[in-house]
Amino acid sequence: MNIAIRRPTLGPDATAFLAKEHKILIDGKWVAAQSGQTFAVEDPATQEVIGHVPAGDKADIDLAVKAARRAFESGPWARMTPRDRSRLVWKLGDLLEQHADELAELEALDNGKPVTNARKDDVQGSIDMFHYMAGWSTRLNGETITVSKSDGNWHAYTLREPVGVVGQIIPWNFPLMMAAWKLAPALAAGCTIVLKPAEQTPLSALRFGELIVEAGFPAGVVNIVTGFGETAGAALSEHPDVDKVAFTGSTEVGKLIVKAAAGNLKRVSLELGGKSPAIVFPDADLDVAIAGTADAIFYNQGQCCTAGSRLFAHKSIYDKVVEGVAAEAKKVRIGHGLDPKVNLGPLVSKEQHDRVTGFLESGRKEGAEVVTGGKVHGNQGYFVEPTVLAKTNRDMRVVRNEIFGPVVCVQAYDDDDLDAVAKFANDTEYGLQASIWTRNLKVAHLLARKIKAGTICINTHNFGDPAWPFGGYKQSGWGREMGKEVMEHYTEVKSVAAKLV
Ligand code: ADP
């Protein structure tokens, strides 16, 4: 099919930002990379170059870490009261809100995602994260501890202190929101940060950096270095003066981060891949379940670590579910993400496009039935049709591997025993999310306990909220983001014992 993709016009603010010479943020100043090198940023819908950003590497990471260390140890940030820190974090949420449309446009342009989703999910989720986390600054308390020493009087207590300089490495699927998930709690705790955005999608982080400066965070508190994973990312994860690294991305790179962090035993938190099951029971509201499980895989072009990529339908409703999800796939409007009518944009890059089309080929070869989709869309940009693969089984590559595209593998099950259902849901090396579609509360909550995943959704999928801890079991990661749990990552507990003499 020959489909010409045109980029819709951007608003004046996003246009003005794009026209700028992009720099990296180190110690409160916008500077070029030490090497002077830059790399091109592409619109994945048209393959046009939309800008160049500095190719930061080890030298820039070094400068950024030094600035973060200075800001952590001395100066206004180190002395700031929790109340004033809270105000700054809240203010950054307000600034995101004031520039919400512009940020949504930049996100749609750079990542390819539909601008309406970018506004209501990515940008709104980022605003909400700052407003929620602002409250934690003034709630990071230690405890008094009852000790059992018999030799005199003791007063023992704990302090909760910021962990220090934090390296944050984020992916391209939700560029702004991943920056917000990482930055908001770290700032609330009083840490200082070196953030490395993904090379595919650096633009919104740089605009975000301008808002961080505008909000009034002291120099060096947040440093943003654009660059590649193998250079800037690797330098940050192995840096001896970084106290903690927080990473979201592939399981493969997560394992490299763990190795790199071993040098100085920095703290590590990881939010990695998934192959999430969506399980539809015969008693589910099928309209809700069909629309919901279709959205679970097609949302964000399937580029979600939580994507409901393994769909299990009871054999009594299997045909209806397959037909229903395929009908949803056919309704999807594909096009440039900046077009507000579009709800499926391109994949983020040629690399992803090659990966997903490779899996489509492999699914066919292994005998999966292509009910709908299965092909690239058009001959420009990185579009792939939303695809339903039926008659799949546990041994197929498409079922075992994270595809990270709009491709769902449907399997029928005929077991009514919940342990058996949990067994096939758990038949994966991942454990990030699962969704259960039923009207039976007992089934829903008993199965929720049996599934080995960090997040369970009942009659919904891809749920998220700043107060809801998020993270994975097994190879989906270490630790939890959001909620009160995330504060564990960004604080150290210090125990103090005093003999009252
Ligand atoms: P994907 O494979 O989906 O592109 P990655 O896990 O490769 O996801 O990328 C997520 C983030 O990790 C990006 O910011 C990327 O630059 C970074 N990254 C990639 N390789 C490394 C590495 N060896 N060390 C540190 N960071 C890396």
pLDDT value at residue 393:
97
Confidence band, pLDDT 50/70/90 cuts, at residue 182: very high
Residue 234 CB less than 6 A away from ligand 1: yes
Distance between CA atoms of 305 and 274, rounded to whole angstroms?
A: 5
Q: 197: CA distance to ligand 1 center in Å?
A: 9
Distance between CA atoms of 404 and 414, rounded to whole angstroms?
A: 28
In a domain, 4, yes or no: no
Query: Tell me: the pLDDT tens digits for 129-162?
Result: 999 999 999 999 999 999 999 999 999 999 999 9
Distance between CA atoms of 318 and 434, rounded to whole angstroms?
A: 18
CB atoms within 10 A of CB 369: 14
In a domain, 416, yes or no: yes
Does the pLDDT value for residue 314 go beyond 60?
A: yes
pLDDT value at residue 295:
98
What atom in ligand 1 is closest to the CA of residue 169?
A: 14
List Cα–Cα distances, 326 to 289, 294, 390, in angstroms. 13, 8, 10
In a domain, 217, yes or no: yes
Q: 50: CA distance to ligand 1 center in Å?
A: 22
Structural domain total, the chain: 2
Residue 261 CB less than 6 A away from ligand 1: no
Q: 477: CA distance to ligand 1 center in Å?
A: 15
What atom in ligand 1 is closest to the CA of residue 249?
A: 6
Does the pLDDT value for residue 1 go beyond 80?
A: no
Choose the catalytic residue: 305, 385, 409, 457: 305
301 and 442 housed in the same domain: yes
Strands 477-478 and 267-271: antiparallel
Residue 196 CB less than 6 A away from ligand 1: yes
Q: What is the CA radius of gyration of the chain?
A: 23
Residue 162 CB less than 6 A away from ligand 1: no
pLDDT value at residue 415:
85
70 and 190 housed in the same domain: yes
Choose the catalytic residue: 199, 271, 385, 402: 271
343 and 294 housed in the same domain: yes
Q: 257: CA distance to ligand 1 center in Å?
A: 9
For the chain, what is the mean pLDDT? Answer: 97
Compute the residue count for the chain: 501
Query: Tell me: the pLDDT tens digits for 59-86?
Result: 999 999 999 999 999 999 999 999 999 9
Strands 310-314 and 407-413: parallel
Q: 46: CA distance to ligand 1 center in Å?
A: 24
66 is in which domain, residue-wise?
A: 12-272+478-495
148 and 210 housed in the same domain: yes
470 and 481 in contact (C-beta within 8 Å)?
yes
What atom in ligand 1 is closest to the CA of residue 260?
A: 24
pLDDT value at residue 2:
54
pLDDT value at residue 6:
87
Residue 377 CB less than 6 A away from ligand 1: no
Q: 230: CA distance to ligand 1 center in Å?
A: 8
Residue 198 CB less than 6 A away from ligand 1: yes
In a domain, 399, yes or no: yes
| Mutate which of 39, 194, 253 for ligand 1 pocket (most atoms within 8 A of beta carbon) | 253
353 and 440 housed in the same domain: yes
Does the pLDDT value for residue 22 go beyond 60?
A: yes
Does the pLDDT value for residue 439 go beyond 60?
A: yes
Residue 253 CB less than 6 A away from ligand 1: yes
Residue 169 CB less than 6 A away from ligand 1: yes
316 and 430 housed in the same domain: yes
74 and 176 housed in the same domain: yes
The percent of residues above 90 in pLDDT, for the chain, comes to 98
In a domain, 6, yes or no: no
In a domain, 487, yes or no: yes
Q: 442: CA distance to ligand 1 center in Å?
A: 41
In a domain, 7, yes or no: no
The residue whose CA is least distant from atom 17 of ligand 1 is 229
pLDDT value at residue 3:
62
Query: Tell me: the pLDDT tens digits for 382-427?
Result: 999 999 999 999 999 999 999 999 999 999 999 889 999 999 999 9
Question: In this structure, what CATH number is given to the domain that contains residue 346?
Answer: 3.40.309.10
User: What is the rounded average pLDDT of the residues 438-446?
Assistant: 98
Confidence band, pLDDT 50/70/90 cuts, at residue 296: very high
The percent of residues above 70 in pLDDT, for the chain, comes to 99
Q: Considering only CA atoms, which of 224, 406, 378 is closest in space to residue 297? A: 406
What atom in ligand 1 is closest to the CA of residue 250?
A: 6
Strands 455-458 and 433-437: parallel
74 and 160 housed in the same domain: yes
What atom in ligand 1 is closest to the CA of residue 198?
A: 14
Residue 230 CB less than 6 A away from ligand 1: yes
286 and 252 housed in the same domain: no
| Mutate which of 169, 269, 305 for ligand 1 pocket (most atoms within 8 A of beta carbon) | 169
Question: In this structure, what CATH number is given to the domain that contains residue 88?
Answer: 3.40.605.10
291 and 341 housed in the same domain: yes
Indicate if 271 belongs to the active site: yes
Query: Tell me: the pLDDT tens digits for 89-136?
Result: 999 999 999 999 999 999 999 999 999 999 999 999 999 999 999 999
Confidence band, pLDDT 50/70/90 cuts, at residue 443: very high
Strands 491-499 and 154-162: antiparallel
Confidence band, pLDDT 50/70/90 cuts, at residue 5: confident
Q: 317: CA distance to ligand 1 center in Å?
A: 40
User: What is the rounded average pLDDT of the residues 472-493?
Assistant: 98
In a domain, 225, yes or no: yes
46 and 156 housed in the same domain: yes
pLDDT value at residue 199:
98
pLDDT value at residue 499:
97
What atom in ligand 1 is closest to the CA of residue 228?
A: 16
259 and 349 housed in the same domain: no
pLDDT value at residue 332:
97
Distance between CA atoms of 467 and 292, rounded to whole angstroms?
A: 22
Instruction: Give the least confident one: 2-11, 229-238, 314-323.
Output: 2-11
Distance between CA atoms of 126 and 131, rounded to whole angstroms?
A: 9
